[in-house]
Amino acid sequence: MAHEPRTPNNLQCLIAGGLAGMAVDTALPRLQAKGGFLASGGFRGIYAGLSSAVIGSSPGAAMFFLTYEKVKAMAERRAVHMFAASAGEVAACMVRVPTEVIKQRLQTKHHPSLGKAVRGTYHAEGILGFYRGYLTTVVREIPFTCIQFPIYEYMKAAVCGSISGGFAAAVTTPLDVVKTRVMLSMKGMEAHMQYSGIGNTLVRIAREEGFRALFSGVVPGTIWISIGGFVFLGSYEKVKAVMMDHKNPFDIAFLPSGIWQAF
């Protein structure tokens, strides 16, 4: 007799998702900035913005998995994984986008420090400045996650998180490039550095820089996200399993070998 799938509770989703988010925060904005990787600083300061990423990755991932698990539990059908993942991304981006905006601006040397990046963005554009590229991000993340999660749920193994994430990353690279350009745009910048709108940005990049520019960073991005998918989804499933097997959710703090033994 087949076992009924178990659904984690809210606290388990939040903790497992949060830890998975902290375990892997992957982004390659320098490869997709208009000036390119070297012009944006190369390997110097490549971890600039890490504090912003850590602050946002954990609650963002927690919000995603909480929404994803709750919506998925409504119906165990293949199509529901797409809907659940999409709903999760819409919720997660409310937390993820502001931290991604700050992180990318730090990594591309728009601002010298986290505090100045936050103050500069707020003074220049107000609260909405932190959500520059929100719609672009959601439009990019939904097809990404609609490709990744049905594959992952069907195969359900850490290595499949790597495969599904890598494939989804390659397919959605143009949307990721657009997201990066829009996020890096700021009021007061020169006109040629300003980008707005998904369609306009896609057409402009293709016209001014060629079709290949829409796939900037596709190879390292696919490799990086493949590794990230293995760590992110593998960590989430392992932490979730450990927590669901213990009545006290904070037992996880005393079971490091049990959590990471799969890796």
**Tokens at residue 111, please?**
């601002």
Report the pLDDT value the prediction gives residue 246, as an integer from 0 to 100: 62
How far apart are alpha carbons 226 and 197 in whole angstroms? 28
> Dihedral through CA 102, CA 106, CA 111, CA 116, nearest 10?
50
Residue 134 vs residues 79, 101, 166: alpha-carbon distances, Å: 25, 10, 23
CA 61, CA 164: separation in Å to the nearest integer? 17
Mean pLDDT over each residue of the chain, to the nearest integer: 74
- With beta carbons less than 8 A apart as the criterion, state whether 23 and 261 touch: no
Res 262: pLDDT: 40
Contact 9, 193 (CB under 8 A): no
d(CA 17, CA 62): 4
Domain boundaries, the chain: 22-33+45-131, 133-236
pLDDT digits (tens, 9 = 90+) for 19-63: 776 665 544 444 445 555 555 554 455 555 555 555 666 778 888
8 A C-beta contact, residue 85 and residue 149: yes
Q: Per-block average pLDDT, block size 10, for the chain (263 residues)?
A: 59 74 52 52 51 66 82 68 84 88 82 88 92 90 84 67 77 88 80 84 92 86 73 76 64 45 42
